[in-house]
Amino acid sequence: MSRIGVVGAGSFGTALAIALAEAGRDVTLWARDAEHVADMVATRCNARRLPGPVFPTSLTPTADLSDLTKSDAVLLSLPMQQLEPFLGRNRDVFDGMPLVACCKGVSLQSGNGPTAIIDQACPNSTSAILTGPSFAADIGRGLPTALTLACANAEAGETLQSLLSTPVLRLYRSTDPIGAELGGALKNVVAIAAGIVIGAGLGDSARAALMTRGFAEMRRFAEHSGAAPDTLSGLCGLGDLVLTCTSEQSRNFRYGMALGQGDAFDPAVTVEGASTARAVAHLAAQRSIDMPIATMVAAVLDQNLSVADAVQALMNRPLKEE
């Protein structure tokens, strides 16, 4: 039986662990909170982060990272800003193992994406990223989901694709991790902007325009960063963008709606797009990349610009060809 380790018992890590265990893998799910682990062991579910789905018998929660060292691959389902410090502290545990990032964003600390962080911290590991249009609740319920698995090493990517695909989790392989991870990161920024549009009452036509121009920004930034031109047209870019900008299951979209409505948002909810907007706006300024939507989102988040002023600034940009 194949053995999979999952680091991070949030909603997405838990959902992946359940899906893989349901498909016959031996899965170990790590959480840092021993009390949380004890609750999961006792109840055979993760009521804190993913209420409802029951753990298959082959899913074992643990608070001991050493329990993951015999895994055929380890999925790193941590918030983006935690990935770099986590691997820095635990590189000796994971270096040499196949490591698959399951987070979306850009590090505020280094400006790197997930696979670059893995490569630097664990140079003897094979790095990959699993990304695309998906909600943890759907995966946990066994609903069909398609994702992109990107690994620069084609042979290793094929092995991981076979290892991690299930009857309801269909993985499409790519050798462009830069494009895949930037698609997943940048769409969260656009989703915040789309939420602002809807929250401010600007309508679906404005959201459609925002998504279209946001996708152009995503491609521009990704290609400037070395991504293949067509990568973002797939699941990890356009597919993820459509889902995240049109569903209130998306935390980034809900956060944007709260901003647009002038409402408070639960600070306990991780909104990856907020950190990504700041990082991308900084990098775009450094590299002279035109990213008006990301720049406006970052300015609104930092309270340097009101929602009304941001909308006016975008609408008053010079007219040009599409």
pLDDT per residue over 107-164, tens digit each?
988 889 999 999 999 999 999 999 999 999 999 999 999 999 999 999 999 999 999 9
User: Residue 14: enclosing H or E segment and its boundaries?
Assistant: helix 11-22
Q: Confidence class of residue 181 from pLDDT cuts 50, 70 and 90?
A: very high
Partners of residue 101 on adjacent β-strands: 76, 129
pLDDT of residue 73: 98
pLDDT of residue 72: 98
Q: How many CB atoms lie within 10 A of CB 85?
A: 14
Q: Is the pLDDT of residue 313 over 90?
A: no
Nearest-10 crossing angle of helices 177-199, 114-121: 140
Q: Confidence class of residue 58 from pLDDT cuts 50, 70 and 90?
A: very high
- Class level of CATH domain 186-315: mainly alpha
Indicate the DSSP class of residue 126.
P
Nearest to 185 by CA among 288, 248, 111: 111
Q: Confidence class of residue 46 from pLDDT cuts 50, 70 and 90?
A: very high
Give the start-end residues of each E strand in the chain. 3-7, 26-30, 45-46, 50-54, 59-62, 73-76, 99-101, 127-131, 145-150, 169-174
Indicate the DSSP class of residue 231.
G
Sequence letter at residue 262: G
Angle at CA 251, nearest 5°, toward 46 and 38?
A: 15
pLDDT of residue 109: 84
Helix (H, G, I), strand (E, B) or coil at 146: strand
Q: Is the pLDDT of residue 7 over 90?
A: yes
Q: Is the pLDDT of residue 272 over 80?
A: yes
Domain-wise residue ranges, the chain: 3-175, 186-315
Rounded to two decimals, the pTM is: 0.94
How many helices (DSSP H) and strands (DSSP E) are in the chain? 13, 10
Q: How far apart are CA 191 and CA 236, in angstroms?
A: 14
Question: Of 3.40.50.1000, 3.40.50.720, 3.40.190.10, 3.40.50.300, which CATH number belongs to 3-175?
Answer: 3.40.50.720
Q: What is the mean pLDDT of the chain?
A: 96
User: Residue 223: enclosing H or E segment and its boundaries?
Assistant: helix 204-224
Which residues are designated catalytic?
A: 187
Burial of 69 (0-12, 13-18, 19+ CB in 10 A): middle
Give the residue-averaged pLDDT of 262-275: 93
Give the residue-averaged pLDDT of 48-71: 97
Give the residue-averaged pLDDT of 220-241: 96
CB 107 within 8 A of CB 117: yes
Give the residue-averaged pLDDT of 54-75: 98
Q: Is the pLDDT of residue 9 over 90?
A: yes
